[in-house]
Structure 1
Amino acid sequence: MFPLERQKRILDLLMIKKVLKIAELAKELNISVETLRRDINVLASEGKIEKIYGGVKWVESNFGESTIDIRMISRLKEKERIAQKCSEYIHDGDCIYLDSGSTTYQIAKYIKSKKNLTVVTNSIPVVNELLTSDVELFIIGGKIRKNEQSVTAFEFLFNFDELNILKAFICASGITVEKGISDYNLEEAITRKKMIELSKEVYVAADSTKFDKNVTIGIAPLEKIDYIVTDHLPKEIADPFKKTNTSLILAES
């Protein structure tokens, strides 16, 4: 396993468990403690993890929201499966919205061959991914969030009411039955609320770590969400959704 692969695996494990012991990590990765310490030093110098006595811990930044760079490599296999499953609901001739986020970015990779597809987005990585495809692209107007590589919308720069979105694929940092979906950033939340209002069908694309969390800014109750596409969920988390009108779609391996 190459150093970058090991470091990605360390971040994946810490994103779930938050704190891990050195011996536990070395066993999980099947590497020596010396090799592990070199990887830990790299990640710690980049501010992605914090060294503690006998182990390491996940660094929560921006009030709990990790950076887009970290999220782009964290739980990548799960996000790819979710994206592939989402792409099955996108058809030739659709007009869709792809939200800014690491999971919705992956969707762009699976829709390049669709015919007469129109994509509206606020994600610069999504635009870059689809730039050389035949997909018709619209990027919303507003302020660039450089650390998120996204555009947060302003009504005076973009006329939302002219859009006719068939399906919106939205990201979320928190999902609960009681509170619906939530996020850390107010500007991103405002954009997502607007797109949910305009779209005929709303899909939330989020991996399983986002469930049972209600974070800073509420975006929408479950009654406004048609589908949630995620990876494997424990029965005790999935079962309460059966009592709602929101359908859970599991993109399991």
Structure 2
Amino acid sequence: MFAKERRLEILSMLMNKKKVRVRELSDLFNVSEVIIRKDLKLLEEEGKLERTHGGAILRKEIPEDISLTTRMISNVEGKNRIVEKLYKLIERGEIIFLDSSSTNLMLAQKLAQFPKEVTIATNMLDIMKTLENVPGITLIGIGGTYHSLLGTFLGGIALDSVLGINSQKLFLGGAGIDIQRGNLSIFDSDEVQLKKAMIKMASKVYFVCEGEKFSHYGIYNFATLEDIDGLVTDMEMEPQITAKLEEHEIEII
């Protein structure tokens, strides 16, 4: 993982847990504590956190959109390649779940520019704003308790809404994928149940996976390789990864 991506994940963890420990981050990212301290120092200089003894806490006045903003500027070229592949997967008349992810937001922007006659169901507010009043697109907003740092609706109401929608396809985001253990994971525990519900209600599940997500993982598992039908990525697969995916009959796109 590049230093830039590692720092984005540290911010994501802070937004969920409110505090992090140097030793915990060192173990999670498999880098030295010296490197982690440098990351925290840089993020503090950028005004995004406050360092404490042995760790860091989230600044109270941190902008609410920082999580999405930082994700949107990370690996833009790779995300664009994935968006083109996702766009081609969408067929006329389908109902598509888009969960909360920066790549799915970029896909929504593509659909706003080049619409298809489809129904989009999403719990991400920025996707709703992007697709409102776009000709040919029927928009289903999945409501619930709004999490401003995530820019998404979660909770029991959102869960009930998802369980009432039959979808042809789900484009699923996540923090990482552990090929050996067969787990997909995220950093925010509040998203786990909603992702599981979307997986249950979709006929086909495509995991949206940038190359660096093969080298690191989140904290909470929300799915296994058995749950996904396809993996959409921006990189060439290593032979051992390809073999593992093919073992589970997962299409590589």
The two structures share one fold, judged by TM-score above 0.5:
yes
Is 1:91 aligned with 2:72?
A: no
Is 1:243 aligned with 2:232?
A: no
Give 2:47's aligned residue: 46
How far, CA to CA, are the matches of 1:138 and 1:84 in structure 2? 23
Larger Rg: 1
Task: Please identify, of 206-215 and 171-180, the stretch whose mean Cα deviation from structure 2 is larger.
Answer: 206-215
Q: Offset at 1:44?
A: 3.2
TM-score by length of 1: 0.71
Q: Offset at 1:46?
A: 3.5
Aligned positions of 1:112-151 closer than 5 A: 112=112, 113-134=114-135, 135-151=137-153
Aligned positions of 1:149-228 closer than 5 A: 149-155=151-157, 158-177=160-179, 178-228=181-231
Q: How many residues align?
A: 206
How far, CA to CA, are the matches of 1:110 and 1:222 in structure 2? 28
How far, CA to CA, are the matches of 1:174 and 1:95 in structure 2? 26
User: Structure 1: where are the runs of 5+ without partners?
Assistant: 1-11, 19-39, 51-58
Is 1:14 aligned with 2:3?
A: yes
Contact 1:127 1:137 in 2 (8 A): yes
Contact 1:186 1:217 in 2 (8 A): yes
Higher helix share: 2
Q: Offset at 1:174?
A: 1.4
Query: Which string of whole-angstrom CA distances, capped at 9 and with x for unpartnered residues, describes residues 46-97 of structure 1?
Result: 338x9xxxxxxxx9979xxx82221011111111110111110001111101
> Residue 176 and residue 117 in structure 1: after superposition, are their counterparts in 2 closer, same or farther (change >3 A)?
same
Q: Offset at 1:157?
A: 7.7
Letter of the 1:125 counterpart: D
Contact 1:92 1:114 in 2 (8 A): no
How far, CA to CA, are the matches of 2:93 and 2:216 in structure 1? 35
Task: Please identify, of 154-163 and 92-101, the stretch whose mean Cα deviation from structure 2 is larger.
Answer: 154-163
> Residue 157 and residue 211 in structure 1: after superposition, are their counterparts in 2 closer, same or farther (change >3 A)?
closer
Aligned positions of 1:105-116 closer than 5 A: 105-112=105-112, 113-116=114-117
TM-score by length of 2: 0.71
Q: Offset at 1:17?
A: 7.3
How far, CA to CA, are the matches of 2:148 and 2:158 in structure 1? 21
Query: Which string of whole-angstrom CA distances, capped at 9 and with x for unpartnered residues, describes residues 138-177 of structure 1?
Result: 1112111101111113148843333111101110101022
Contact 2:159 2:193 in 1 (8 A): no
How far, CA to CA, are the matches of 1:105 and 1:166 in structure 2? 19
User: Structure 2: where are the runs of 5+ without partners?
Assistant: 8-40, 60-65
